[in-house]
Amino acid sequence: MTTNDTREITVTVDGRRETGVVSDRTLLVHWLRDALDKRGPKIGCDTGNCGACTVRWNGTLVKSCMVLAVQVDGDEIETAASLAEEDGTLSRLQQCFADHHALQCGYCTSGMLMTAADLLASGEEITEHSVRRALKGHVCRCTGYHNIVKAIRAAAGQEVPPPHGSEPREAEVR
């Protein structure tokens, strides 16, 4: 049932049609997490600064803490869950994050993945610089940017050095 300040919305989320009743003030990230149990988008700052809540809205990246749920009525939203294959197999990009130790605590990961997937699909030349520029709107609280950049470059088919922190210690190579 809707009231004066609530509305029914229907949104395709990760390929599935979802209907819900939201307040006019409900943020998209809150609706995705609280009503739909979508755990990809995280709430890191609620002010559009950290990128942890990044999703695609009709194919365009947005920070879902900056969008009202009512704005996406009738539209399509994709979270990081949409990146995996239908049978749950990780995408090449997701696998590269695992292989290159780019996950750390994981809080920023799904936002990073959304932006990285967008960059890889854009056809832009993938370089250390273009990856770092694309990730500009993302903050990793674990500050482990080196391995995140390597993982994205590896997903683009580039040879990258082993993950930062995985080099054998001096005592181990003797």
Amino acid present at 104: Q
Rounded (5°) CA angle 127-128-131: 80
Count of residues interacting with ligand FES (CB under 6 A): 22
Which burial class, exposed, middle or buried, applies to 45 when counting CB atoms under 10 A from its CB (0-12, 13-18, 19+)? Answer: middle
Amino acid present at 70: V
Among positions 36, 70, 84, 142, the unique one binding ligand FES when judged by CB under 6 A: 142
C-alpha closest to that of 118 among 61, 42, 66: 61
Which burial class, exposed, middle or buried, applies to 146 when counting CB atoms under 10 A from its CB (0-12, 13-18, 19+)? Answer: middle
Shortest distance, position 86 Cβ to ligand FES, whole Å: 27
Segment contacting ligand FES (CB under 6 A): 47-55, 71-79, 126-134, 164-172?
47-55
User: Side-chain half-sphere of 25: how many Cα atoms within 13 Å?
Assistant: 2
The residue (of 21 and 48) whose beta carbon lies closer to ligand FES is: 48
Q: Does residue 49 belong to the site contacting ligand FES (CB under 6 A)?
A: yes
Shortest distance, position 125 Cβ to ligand FES, whole Å: 25
- Site residues for ligand FES, 74-103, by CB under 6 A, read none
Q: Does residue 40 belong to the site contacting ligand FES (CB under 6 A)?
A: no
The residue (of 96 and 173) whose beta carbon lies closer to ligand FES is: 96
Q: Does residue 28 belong to the site contacting ligand FES (CB under 6 A)?
A: no
Shortest distance, position 170 Cβ to ligand FES, whole Å: 27
